[in-house]
Structure formats: C-alpha cells, structure tokens
Structure 1
Amino acid sequence: MHTVISRPSGTRRESDSYAVTAEFYDILQADADEARVRRLYGREIARARSGVLDIGAGTGRVTMLALADSRAGVHAVEPARAMRTSLLTRLAALPREQRDRVTVHPLPLDEAALHAVADVAVCHNVVGCLPPAVRERLWPAIGRALTPGGALFVQLPPARLPARTVVRLLADKRVGEHVYGGRMTLSAAGYRIRARADYWVKGAGGVLREHTETFWMWPATRERLLGELAPHGFAPLPGHEDSELLAVTLRRHR
C-alpha cells in the first residue's frame, strides 16, 4: 500500500499517505511481513548483482533484506513521508558499509529518473493499491530502471472482490505499560476493495487512543497483470509458481 507513481497533473506534492498507519505498522505487522518478504524474494535478492529496486519501500522490509543478504546497491522508492521517516530511522542504525549502498528516493518512480540501476525489482504490498491507469505508468518506469534481462517480482493483489466482509485481527503487542492492537476490514465497494485499518492503544484503565485509516484496492488476476506487462517488454520468468507471486523478466530486445 504505497504511492509509487506521480499524479497526472504533473504538480508533485509530498504524500501524506499512511500518516496513521506508519505509527502502528512495524509494531503490529513487521514480524509476519519480514517472514513473508524473505520467503517470496530472499533467494532472488541474494543473487542480485547490479542492484535491487524496492518499489514502495514502506518501512523497509525488502530494503533491509537486500542490504543484509546481497552486496548490491539498493534503490528504495518511497514518496510517503510517514513511511519514509521510519525507513530512514532504521537505515540510520546500520553500519556505514550498508548505508553507503542504499539510496532512498522521495519521489514517485516515474519521477526518480532511474535507468538500468538494478537487475532485481520488487513490488511488495504495492500493486493492489494502484488503479489500472496508474499501473500502466508503473510498468514502463520499472522497465527503464531494470537492466536488460532483469527480473521483476510482484506480490499479487486480490484476484477478485471479496464475496463478504473480511475482518482480520492483528496480534496485540505490548510496549511497556501500553498494549497496541488493530484490525483490518476488507469489503467490496463497487469495483474496488475498501480496506479499513483500525488501531488502538490500551493502558491499565482501558483504551487510551483510537485511530482509523482507509485505503482502496483494485483486484487484478495474474493473467491481467501479465497482459499489462507484455507490451512493456516483460515475459513470465520460469520456475516461479508461488500463488502469491508474479515473476517476470525484461527481455533484452524490446
């Protein structure tokens, strides 16, 4: 759920997306997300040579894995200030050798002017939050940022609208005297999915704070995404059959 493409108007302003979620994301979801990131992308990231492109870096799960498991340079694209603040705080604690290998881009990908900087690109928890017209601008921007023959790994969005409202509770986490908790609620809204995040902080006397943030998601099947990617020089990458993942490679002759 990250902003990675600029607005059509051409007038860029700092994204304030995830201003609420940024406070709660790491404490409530980071452990599970870290395991998912390693499972989906770990092997390919470790093989990166010219660079890793983290598209919609958020608080940095893919970026941190790339810095730890590869020797390649990393380009982390994150226009949302709230998420980028968490990412930079995490990077500040790293050894200099790792900090020197990562560049954080506070711009949407199509404004970052990245050309042939990576042989591995990752879109984790991103594509589902992009409407079709925006995805069409993302694919060529990725193609420009990848080296010929490079690979793109996309965490697949929901394939269809939910048939009923789905509620997922996030495991409580204690921090000192306070307990942080939350839930995600997914429901169909026309041709989109409404994703509502509710967060709370509890103390000994009950609820101290409550916050809500709503996101929109657009379903897309694997076949539809492959059809969108093909005109931009991407073809399926053999050997990747994970049901959560779409893997494609950038052909040398486009």
Structure 2
Amino acid sequence: MQRDDYAVSAEFYDVLQAQQDAIRVHHLYGRHVANARLGVLDVGAGTGRVTLMSLLESRVGVHAVEPARAMRTPLMTRLASLPTELRERVTVHPQTLEEAELRDVADVAVCHNTIGCLAPAARRALWPALAQALVPGGSLLLQLPPTHLPDKETERVFPDQRVGQHEYGGRMVMSADGSRLRTRCDYWVRGAEGVLREHTETFWMWPASRAAMISDLAQHGFALLPGRDDPAVLAMALTWDSPARTQ
C-alpha cells in the first residue's frame, strides 16, 4: 500500500459503500470489540467504519492505523465531529503498523478489508508487528483475502446514491493478472444534464488460502480461536510464545 493510494476512491467510498460496510463490521467484529478490556487496534482503518464501531461498542482506547493520506482525511473529519469523550479515546497512526512500532496496546485487533491488498512481502511484515501490538491472549480478527484468482472477469455494481441534485454511482471490475487480482473501480457523477464526471482507479490484490494464513500466523505465535466459524473472517489468539515478543 502506498501513501497516495485511494486518491480517487476516497471521495466515493463513503457515499457508495459505507452504510452497508458499517452493518457488516458490526456483525463480524462487534462482539469481540465489546469484550475488549485493554484496547482495540484497527489495522487499515480507511475512512473509519471499524474505528467508529469500536469507539461505540467498547470503553477502551482505539488505535487506528491508516498510512494512505486520501483515506485518512475523511477518517480525521469523521473523528473531529465526535463528542469529546469519544474522540479522546482514539489515536490515529499515519503509517504502517510496522512503522508505528506499537507494543502491548490492545487485546483485540481487527484487519478489515486490508490483508488482500497487501503484497506477500508486506503481508509477512505485518504478522510480527501484530504480535508485538497485541498482548498475549489477545484476539486477531482478520478478513480473509480472496482464495483464488477468478476464472473470468467479474463485475459488481454499487447502487446509485443521491446527494442533493447529483447521483453518484460506481462499479468494481475484477480480473486475473498473472498472480495478482486486478481490481478496477469506475465512478461517475450524474446531474440533470447527464454525466458530469467520470473517474477510474485500479488496485491489486493477492489471493491466499485460509490454510496458508493460519500457517503463516502460527509461525508468529497465533493459534486458532475456537467458536468462530465465519468463512470470511479468520479468528486467532496470540499465545505467550510469540517470537515477536522476545525481541
């Protein structure tokens, strides 16, 4: 992930996807976040859906890690509008988790809509940083990347959303490109006179199986957390013998 990623998508993300995503993150992570006793770590916070949910569901400090300036800007705007008692519980880190060098700050970590966007080398660098940021016994909830490349091009159209006199729309087109998954996002804004603006932004994703994720995390002291069978989310717990905690 680069610092200038999402320069186009940041304008459209909340309008087209945030309401549905807010419902999803509450369903996927709300129960664990509500049980946090030390802190919540949101890795790849984006515009802040997991961060905001964590502030509302818990009573602990929240660390939001977001290196992309374009996504961090709406995140900060959203946090600035919160009541003081909520805003004082959240710290925004404008770099990667490895660069932030957080240690023992949380007993719950969430990686939502993040892991699939990391190249293999960046993914491997994240695991020890997560083990260092969590306390032993802490939970890691990780939305899994795609398990394989698509056989053919697929398209997802976002429902149009009206903002004043303008209608915002978009679509996501996914296709295989070598070992990567190419994701092209097309956006448009329409008015009474027709299309006013059109934009396109392309992202890359790297597939990985659930078994591969479990194996990689096990090398850094994580073990499967019982009682979580959601196929979209991998739930792990940090053990006492994590190599990252002896450094």
Q: Give me the TM-score of the superposition, normalised by structure 2.
A: 0.97
User: What is the CA-CA distance between 1:252 and the residue it aligns to?
Assistant: 1.5
- Counterparts of 2:119 and 2:45, CA distance in 1: 19
Match of 1:52 in 2: 40
Deviation at 1:136, TM superposition (A): 0.7
Q: 1:1-254, aligned counterparts within 5 Å?
A: 3=1, 15-254=3-242
Per the alignment, residue 9 of structure 1 pairs with: none
Provide the rounded CA distance (Å) in 1 between the counterparts of 2:184 and 2:166: 23
Question: Secondary structure of 2:202's match?
Answer: strand
Q: How far did 1:60 drift? A: 0.2
Cα distance in 1 for partners of 2:235, 2:127 equals 13
Secondary structure of the residue aligned to 1:134 is helix
- Counting aligned pairs with the same residue, the percent is 63
In structure 2, distance between residues paired with 1:42 and 1:66: 7
Q: CA deviation at 1:167?
A: 0.4
Q: Which amino acid aligns with 1:60?
A: G
Write the distance in 2 (CA, Å) between the matches of 1:81 and 1:133: 22
Instruction: Give me the whole-angstrom Cα distance separating, in 2, the residues matched to 1:34 and 1:86.
Output: 15
Deviations 1:167-193 (A, max 9, x none): 000000000110000000000111110
Can you list the C-alpha shifts for 1:180-217, whole angstroms capped at 9, x where unaligned? 00000000111110000000000001100000000000
* RMSD of aligned Cα (Å): 0.8
Residue 190 of structure 1 aligns to which amino acid in structure 2?
Answer: G
Alignment partners' CA distance in 2, 1:161 and 1:32: 25
| Cα offset, 1:231, TM superposition | 0.8
**C-alpha distance in 1 between matches for 2:179 and 2:107:** 35
| Cα distance in 1 between the residues matched to 2:151 and 2:123 | 25
Cα deviation for residue 132 of structure 1 reads 1.4
Separation in 2 of the partners of 1:107 and 1:161?
Answer: 29
CA distance in 1, matches of 2:151, 2:9: 26
Cα offset, 1:253, TM superposition: 2.5
- What 5-or-longer segments of structure 2 have no aligned partner? 243-247
State the TM-score, normalizing by the size of structure 1: 0.94
How far apart are the structure 2 equivalents of 1:164 and 1:147?
A: 43
